[in-house]
Structure 1
Amino acid sequence: MVRNIRVKSLDFVFAIQRLVGIHEFRKEVKKVGVEPSKEIEGLIEELSTSVSMRVFEDLKLLFRKYYLDGMIANIAINNPDKNPREIIQLVKAVGPEGFYDAYIKEYVRPRETGEQGIKARIDELIENNTSQIIMTYSQLKKFKNEAPEIYYKCVETLTHFVASYEKIETRVNAIYDREIANFEEAMKDETKFRNSYLMIQFEGETHSLSDIDVCMTVLGEYVLMYKISEDHMSMKMILGFAMRNITSEKEETIEQEVFKCLGDPTKLLMIQMASKEPVCAKDYADRLKLSKATISHHIGLLLGLRLLTLHIQNGKKMYYSTNVELLRRLFDNFIGDLEANN
């Protein structure tokens, strides 16, 4: 079952991510050949002019050094009906002494209790992602002592920021209402929707995912993320609205985009590497000597076109493989069309 879940505060989190990483975002999308929405760029520019320099620097500290966006995003996803101010109240209710434990519970989510379980989970998250999304274990140990102080800064900064966000929130919601209609229409054909956006397998299987909650974001326009349940039976898909422009429903458009990817040296190398053996994100970054952020964007585009498939091995390890069958089919169709025209 695929269904749309409206997470009221998801764009609040992505507003901060986009704001503190605005210059990096523009550079990266330019590198991978996609265009940010001028409409969204205008909202972020407006947001940047209304946020004080002190709040901006504090947001960078909280999101870049302590990676608290992951914790706040998880709280938002687990409480989809809560607006940003209510999410802040949930953070506030944790209290300074419970802040560290809340971070572990809401974001790290170790599979085993104790320090070894926490360390193993952090190592797994760092290895499986193309960009750093969590503190290293040594950073986390320091954070444990600093957590009460960071708690007060977090609550204060988010309270100041929400006033600025609310100035654009109505327009963000209007874009959401406009764009979600397209996804809801696509969700009616569940098989087609899964084929377009579910680029993930568990030891070669996808049918075990019986429930998929789609959480669309406006301000995270090129995001495609999966939050999977421990039993692999359900999942939340975080989907940027602009991914619809990359993952086309028309086979002819897919052919054009695939051939365009094959003409890009980096994407071609990534496809070739993953055709020989499964490749993890770190392997791509190390072998191609590119930043994790650049690799992340390339992977997102290749997943969106189904040229790569994401495999979960041993319940946690993420690897990418080339979808050779898709390439073979597209080339067979292409040659068939050429022969038919002669």
Structure 2
Amino acid sequence: MSTDTILVVGGTGNQGRAVIDRLTDLGIGDEIIALTRDASTTHAQATAELGAELVEGDLTEPETLRPHLERADKVWATINFWAVGYDAHIELGNNLGDAIETVGGLEHVVYSGAGDQQEETEVPHLHSHYVVSERLRETGVPYTALKPVYFMENWEPIGIEDGMLAFPLDEETHHHQTTYYDTARASAIALHNTDEFAGTAYTIASDLLTLDETAAVISDVTGQHVDPYHVPLEDAEAEFGEEFAVMCDHFINEGGHTSFEANIRRIERDFGFTPQTLEEYLRENGWEDGKDEPTHVPGWVKAMQ
């Protein structure tokens, strides 16, 4: 068992709780401390039930991070773009980088951003994740950039309506997908193996399907026929919001009809696990019995509520 103290920044969110669960399950980290603005919230208490110690701090106030960073040997972090928006996302990432530099002495930082995060893109959350990731790399602490693609959990709130799965992708576009679980597995393994993973970057992807193939998998699992509906890009903003519309436009017109550049076999080879297929995800999350309520509520949905 690792004797590291691991600070999880974003520990009360979907990804953070999955990371804590994986760390605990794999016996990685002697102490796991989860940063939260308010330890009394329902989400914070759910995190504590996973075995993490809750500590209060706020990325808008970098000085509140210092005592927790001083305790830590390693840090896993993510920042929810959907909850704060483009400018604040970058500001919070800069604050975290400043705090890490001020403390010094950390052994490893792992940041979970977004697939295809890059300097030259018109997709706001892909660009801001790139900026934050580069800021953390600049701290000089051994650093790993993980870049999860579209989460299968997003299908939960989108759901099936009138026998259709609606999404703004055309018939030709192949869509890389992953899960909180696979991202958490990769995160835990990277944190445990600093010598191997520091200085690396990985796009985390688990399955690659067109919208038609996605609908067919859902049909097989649920036993109910599901038709794909390719929402026209001109209608996507009204149905899914501006950010999703811009992202899907990027996939179709800039990505060569493939969402995200990813190598699933590389994940399997380097991290030593077989990523979940969409079918496995659906069966493990109750889709065989129908979905009256989503098992997971993604961050972009919470931000719109």
State TM-score, norm by structure 1: 0.25
State TM-score, norm by structure 2: 0.27
Between 1 and 2, higher relative CO (CA 8 Å, sep ≥ 6) is seen in: 1
Instruction: Pick the structure with greater CA Rg.
Output: 1
